[in-house]
Structure 1
Amino acid sequence: MDKDSAKKTMNCGSPALKRDQDLNTSTSDQSSASGNPNRTIRTRNDSCIDLPRHSTSDDRTSSDECGLTEVTEKVREDVEASTLEDSAEFEAKYQQQDLLGKGGCGSVFAGYRKADNLPVAIKHVPNDKILCKHVRISAEVTIMSKLAAKSEGTSAPVSLLDCYKLDQELILVLERPIPAKDLFDHIKTNGGPLDEEEAKVILKQLIDAAIDPEDKHVFHRDIKLENILIETSSDIPRVRLLDFGLSCLAKKTSTYKVFFGTHIPPEYHDRGFYRAGPTTVFQMGVVLFETLHSDTFVPNRFFRNKQRISNELSENCQDFFRTSLNRDPDQRPTLKQLRSHPWL
């Protein structure tokens, strides 16, 4: 995994309002720099912004917002039983190496498991940066514990291997596939947007990787180019979903009033709340847009027809965009319906 790929395991979200202000500023600067007011320049979305210091009834850090109040006592006991509290045991089992990335939410290091030299990513999160927890359980740990590893060759979230809860920090030991790069860098290496057929292969796998968490009531909340890892060890790339630091446990009917993440669904502004399923589908559309176009997707420009789907794409592909990026969340398909779209 390269430097920027590993950063994705520590990416921290910001409140939606704060991100909107940042996006408006950066978009204006980028357009001016490019000399074209109708074009934005894609930049990496990997900045980390500190969380609010004081909780409110709508704060993302509440247990209810994360869905942890629904976690059963057995789940809590199972997670706590697998969470170790001895730093000496961590040091005996793993060798930590170079720093791969650092941000407001913590640091990620390369490393390997001493018993078999398995490459790992070691994520250190200070206790005051844990986004959500219920009693002693971090939402990220609870959620990743629910997502069992899939067989080799299938799309899947990156697996949590070990967890250590120490006095001052939480240490997560994660898979580190090699060779691999995130989708942002994969597009950059390609020299620009991917061709439609390659994008189709990636989207199929990405949707498959997202369906399993959804079936287990896990809402990732921050699907974007930087959180999609592409394993490149074979002719057919394998897609892995990264960074569950902003995720939560969600019921089908759960609604949310505070958004932490990158690609904000339009209903957050239109209605003041959003739901898991339609938001995930919307983010799939954004990922595809940024895979097949040279511009960063900007919702307010897209919905004012100032940013358009390329007419060089097939009609089925254009329809995939219109379906997944529908402004009305009630008109978007489910992930499983999207997986059966004619384009795929």
Structure 2
Amino acid sequence: MGQCYGKTNPNSENDHAPNTTTTTGDGDGDRSPLPISAVGNGYNSVKNTPARSSSSQASPWPSPYPHGEGVSPSPARGTTPRRFFRRHFPPPSPAKHIRASLVKRLGKQTPKEGTIPEEGRSRSPEESVAATEEQALDKRFGYGKNFGAKYELGREVGRGHFGHTCYGRGKKGELNNKPVAVKIISKAKMTTAIAIEDVRREVKLLKALSGHKHLIKFHDAFEDSNNVYIVMELCEGGELLDRILSRGGRYTEEDAKVIVLQILSVVAFCHLQGVVHRDLKPENFLFTSRSQDADVKLIDFGLSDFIRPDERLNDIVGSAYYVAPEVLHRSYSVEADIWSIGVITFILLCGSRPFWARTESGIFRSVLRADPNFDDLPWPSVSPEAKDFVKRLLNKDYRKRMSAAQALAHPWLRDDNHPIPLDILTYKLVKSYLHATPFKCAAAKALSKALTEKELVYLGAQFRLLEPNRDGYVSLENFKMALARHATDAMSESKVLDIINTMEPLANRKMDFEEFCAAATSTYQLEALDKWEDIANNAFEHFEREGNRVISIEELAIELNLGPSAYSILKDWIRDDGKLNLFGYTKFLHGVTLRTSNPRQR
């Protein structure tokens, strides 16, 4: 089994995870017992023990891997492919701008005097730069230099290929005599500009994100000539993965809800701030204590990044079993995190992975092509609401997945004690509505009148968060102030607030709840519902009465920003009387979506 790749690094040293040995066997499978991962993250309590054969692991399930294939699992886990996919899907380099800068600064490189070039070919400019890059690297981060004066280190609790984690204790100030976790990252391991940028970005993210109950608390960052020290809150309750294993592989529905609520809450917060985590898995959620009702905290932002509302990323990162289909297609946004939460929820409820194979390529094929199995035990005894919840997170079309805030409003999780948070998705949908044609707005208004009470719960919560005036209207100022009330430094870094500028058409008018529902409703998400046909028929009846009109094929093509080549398709959308038919109405609601819209070149 190959390693996982993401950010291009020939030395595999931009990872904060242990250098876990993986198998080389092949053959695909649909499902397997859980023992998911030996991958640590440099923070959690990975046992520092010698490698063992697969037969000696303490997992309650047999390993899915044959013996004798070089498996080195940790004592409590089986193995999982590492989180950087290195073969099959080579991504664009995430450091083109870094390399270009170095080429500009250093000029075209030539082999050093006395060295022997590779036989049969000369080095390319990029390879020459890579060969001298380490000499040019600036490993100064600008962090404090007085780590030893403020903290003392205790025993090591975890080790990865890129660094290790120790217990620590504050020596002065607010943290005087209080325990902390110290992530120590070796500068000697930072052999590329990419690796340095990874560390710099992780600290920036931890520092910028603050104020959420289920987010690991960042204290400070230091450096010396040898290491970078990241000081964080200490969580002593172990990983979510360990809790799953200790329960025999699965949670009850009620216990699973408690965990999923906390996960969705912190992820919704991150997404609103313009941060995509990109490595959500049970190993990256730690319990604050050993208590059975302890809270979980999201950790390890080593693969995370800032992202604008309309931006799409294309570098392939993540952990194989949790990676979303669109990540493998190299065009994704925050919805990729939602897929990972779907995988975690599936595991919590049944103890098995929804997508499994012996090789990375097999896992990827399963993720791209296979559907989760809801027929085997224990799924027949799981509530319909829970199954619907998981299915709506594991939809291969990212446009049809619920957002984290929408998932918190799902009937399986809905709880008045856990309010639905502000959702950046509503801003994106309202922005599109404000720039739509009157005909498209009429179609959206008809659709909103067919919504059921379940959909209106979420929309009502979002509207109330905008704090409408006494007359029940919201303006551009309401949208602006709602974002500002929830802003952290991360929101400024990710440019999320810039979306307000694209909502300028709302500056001179107001929006009531009925129009807000029309603007903030996603046709794609409704299409994922079992009752979509009923909703569409009901909406079309409203459209016939209030918005349908005669429209030519040429005008319809202009509405959809299509050329004459689409005329042959659009003629099937229009009835003999010149108006849209039901098929045409539902297609028109979808509009045209370009998958590669606004990609970030990495």
Q: What TM-score does the superposition give when structure 1 sets the normalisation length? A: 0.75
Tell me the amino acid that sits aligned with residue 404 of structure 2. L
1:162 aligns with 2:238: no
Q: Select between 187-196 and 122-131 the one with higher mean Cα deviation.
A: 122-131
Q: Would the alpha carbon gap of residues 238 and 255 (structure 1) be closer, same or farther in structure 2, given more than 3 Å must change?
A: same
Tell me the amino acid that sits aligned with residue 209 of structure 2. L
Tell me the amino acid that sits aligned with residue 222 of structure 1. D
Q: Would the alpha carbon gap of residues 50 and 93 (structure 1) be closer, same or farther in structure 2, given more than 3 Å must change?
A: same
Post-superposition offset of 1:167 = 2.9
Instruction: Tell me the residue number matched to 1:145.
Output: 207
RMSD: 3.4
Instruction: Tell me the residue number matched to 1:46.
Output: 39
Work out the CA distance in 2 between the residues paired with 1:267 and 1:251.
17
Instruction: Tell me the residue number matched to 2:271.
Output: 214
Contact 2:342 2:390 in 1 (8 A): yes
Work out the CA distance in 1 between the residues paired with 2:84 and 2:284.
20
Post-superposition offset of 1:285 = 0.3
1:312 aligns with 2:384: no
Q: What is the percent sequence identity of the aligned residues?
A: 24
Instruction: Tell me the residue number matched to 1:194.
Output: 251
Contact 1:301 1:307 in 2 (8 A): no
1:336 aligns with 2:405: yes
Work out the CA distance in 2 between the residues paired with 1:297 and 1:23.
20
What's the secondary structure of 1:162's corresponding residue?
Answer: strand
Instruction: Tell me the residue number matched to 1:34.
Output: none
Q: Would the alpha carbon gap of residues 106 and 61 (structure 1) be closer, same or farther in structure 2, given more than 3 Å must change?
A: farther
Instruction: Tell me the residue number matched to 2:92.
Output: 58
1:117 aligns with 2:177: yes
Tell me the amino acid that sits aligned with residue 145 of structure 1. K
Q: Would the alpha carbon gap of residues 63 and 110 (structure 1) be closer, same or farther in structure 2, given more than 3 Å must change?
A: farther
Work out the CA distance in 2 between the residues paired with 1:335 and 1:59.
30
Work out the CA distance in 2 between the residues paired with 1:96 and 1:13.
32
Tell me the amino acid that sits aligned with residue 103 of structure 1. G
Post-superposition offset of 1:248 = 0.7
Q: Would the alpha carbon gap of residues 52 and 237 (structure 1) be closer, same or farther in structure 2, given more than 3 Å must change?
A: closer
Q: Would the alpha carbon gap of residues 195 and 131 (structure 1) be closer, same or farther in structure 2, given more than 3 Å must change?
A: farther
Post-superposition offset of 1:330 = 1.0
Q: Would the alpha carbon gap of residues 51 and 167 (structure 1) be closer, same or farther in structure 2, given more than 3 Å must change?
A: farther
What's the secondary structure of 2:380's corresponding residue?
Answer: coil
- 1:249-304 CA-partner distances (Å, limit 9, x unpaired): 111222222222212111233xx223232101111101111112222332644752
Structure 1 or 2: more strand by fraction: 1
For residue 238 of structure 2, the aligned residue among 168, 177, 181 is 181
Work out the CA distance in 2 between the residues paired with 1:243 and 1:223.
9
1:297 aligns with 2:354: yes
Contact 1:182 1:225 in 2 (8 A): yes
Work out the CA distance in 2 between the residues paired with 1:137 and 1:186.
29
Structure with the larger RCO, 1 or 2 (CA within 8 Å, 6+ apart):
1
Post-superposition offset of 1:52 = 10
For residue 305 of structure 2, the aligned residue among 232, 248, 269 is 248
What's the secondary structure of 1:15's corresponding residue?
Answer: coil
1:265 aligns with 2:327: no
Work out the CA distance in 1 between the residues paired with 2:316 and 2:165.
24
What's the secondary structure of 2:279's corresponding residue?
Answer: coil
Post-superposition offset of 1:232 = 3.9
Tell me the amino acid that sits aligned with residue 147 of structure 1. L
1:15 aligns with 2:6: yes
What pairs up with 1:62-101 in 2 under 5 angstroms?
83-84=143-144, 86=145, 89-101=146-158
Work out the CA distance in 1 between the residues paired with 2:91 and 2:352.
37
Q: Would the alpha carbon gap of residues 132 and 208 (structure 1) be closer, same or farther in structure 2, given more than 3 Å must change?
A: farther
- 1:110-151 CA-partner distances (Å, limit 9, x unpaired): 1111233211111111231685556x980001111111144x
Instruction: Tell me the residue number matched to 2:545.
Output: none
Contact 2:31 2:353 in 1 (8 A): no
Post-superposition offset of 1:41 = 4.2
- 1:189-212 CA-partner distances (Å, limit 9, x unpaired): 222201110100110111111122
For residue 280 of structure 1, the aligned residue among 337, 357, 362 is 337
- 1:34-90 CA-partner distances (Å, limit 9, x unpaired): xxx85344232416869899xx992245679xxxxxxxxxxxxxxx77x21x2xx21
Q: Would the alpha carbon gap of residues 329 and 16 (structure 1) be closer, same or farther in structure 2, given more than 3 Å must change?
A: farther
Q: Would the alpha carbon gap of residues 258 and 322 (structure 1) be closer, same or farther in structure 2, given more than 3 Å must change?
A: same
Q: How many positions carry a matched residue from both structures?
A: 295
For residue 227 of structure 1, the aligned residue among 284, 299, 302 is 284
Instruction: Tell me the residue number matched to 2:586.
Output: none
Instruction: Tell me the residue number matched to 1:76.
Output: none
Q: What TM-score does the superposition give when structure 2 sets the normalisation length? A: 0.44
Larger radius of gyration: 2
Q: Would the alpha carbon gap of residues 332 and 51 (structure 1) be closer, same or farther in structure 2, given more than 3 Å must change?
A: closer
